Amino acid sequence: MKIRSVTIALTIVLIPFISGVVLFNAKLHGTASERGNFISDTRYENKGIDHKGISIDWSFSPDWRYKPLFFPSKEYLVFVFHYKNDSEYDIELAPSYTFVPPPHRRYSANEEISMYIEDDVEDELGITDETSMSYKISPGATIHYIVTFEKPENLNHFYIDVDIFRDDTLRLYYEKKCGTWVNANNELIDKYRGRG
């Protein structure tokens, strides 16, 4: 191959890596001052829930900021769930999460945003996020899972459904009181099981 051809080929091959480094740096400098705060963590407030051999805790940030490279930043609702296996046997979990703001349209978690903010959230809470959609938890072990929802404008209250169990759903209610988000209530509700 001629030198010119080698140079062209090498340039093409290196483009993704060099642009990756440039974008990584841009991202690092662009978001260093942003992110958000976890205003509550049931692990320390003793407000978690124990059900069917699993203790469920969650950390909550109502204003986690994520800035795309070329667009302004936006706030997201970020939950980090902590599942601890309190039983004597391995358990397999495959939870799913739904966000329900007024007027009751249901939204799923945004896995892409979770992926982008994963490292920052892990650093903030000192945990390692589980990326699988289903996972085994050994007796006594804890698994952490980041869940991100897009935040509508003028949000004052909402609830999220955490589907972990076959027969019931964990529903967490949040509302804004005097400018602060408060976990107003939590309940386990029976699941509707249709014939479809």
Partner 1 sequence: MFRRIVKNFGPEWGAAVMGTAALCITMQLSSEVARPFSALLYVGLGFYLLTTVMFIAFLIPWTLRFFMYPDEVRKDLRHPIKGNFFPTMPISFILAGTGTNKLGPMIFGPKFSYHLSVIFFFLGVIGIFTFGYLLVRIHFLNKEMRLNDANFSWFIPPVSHLIIPVLGTCLLDVYWAGTALASVFFVISMVALGVGFFNFLFVGSMVWRRYVCGTIPQGNLAPTIMIGIAPTAIMVVFLIKFIEAIEASHGTLFGINFAAVFPFIKISAAILWGFSFWWLFLVIILVTHYIKIKEHPLGFSWWAYTFPLEAFTVSTGLLAKCVAPYFFRGALLGLNTLAMATWVVVVFATIKWLESGAFFKPQH
Closer Cβ to partner 1, 141 or 177, answer by number: 141
- Residue 179 or 196 with smaller CB distance to partner 1: 196
**CB of 1 vs partner 1, minimal distance in Å:** 5
Secondary structure (3-state) at 193 = coil
3 state DSSP class of 5: helix
Q: How far is the CB of 4 from partner 1 (least distance, A)?
A: 8
In the complex with partner 1, the residue whose CB is nearer, 27 or 43, is 27
User: Can you tell me the distance from the alpha carbon of 155 to that of 186, in angstroms, rounded to the nearest whole number?
Assistant: 19
Write out the DSSP string of 158-178.
EEEEEE-SSSEEEEEEEEEET
Residue numbers of the site for partner 1 (CB under 8 A)?
1-2, 5-6, 8-9, 12-13, 15-21, 23-24, 27, 68-71, 74, 94, 96, 98, 105-113, 115-116, 118-119, 122, 128, 131-135, 150, 194-196
Three-class SS of residue 38?
Answer: coil
CB of 104 to partner 1, least distance (A): 11
Of the two residues 52 and 191, which places its CB atom closer to partner 1 in the complex? Answer: 191
Give me the least distance between CB of 182 and partner 1, in Å please.
26
Residues near 79 by beta carbon (within 8 Å), at least 6 away in sequence: 58, 59, 60, 61, 97, 146, 147, 148, 149, 160
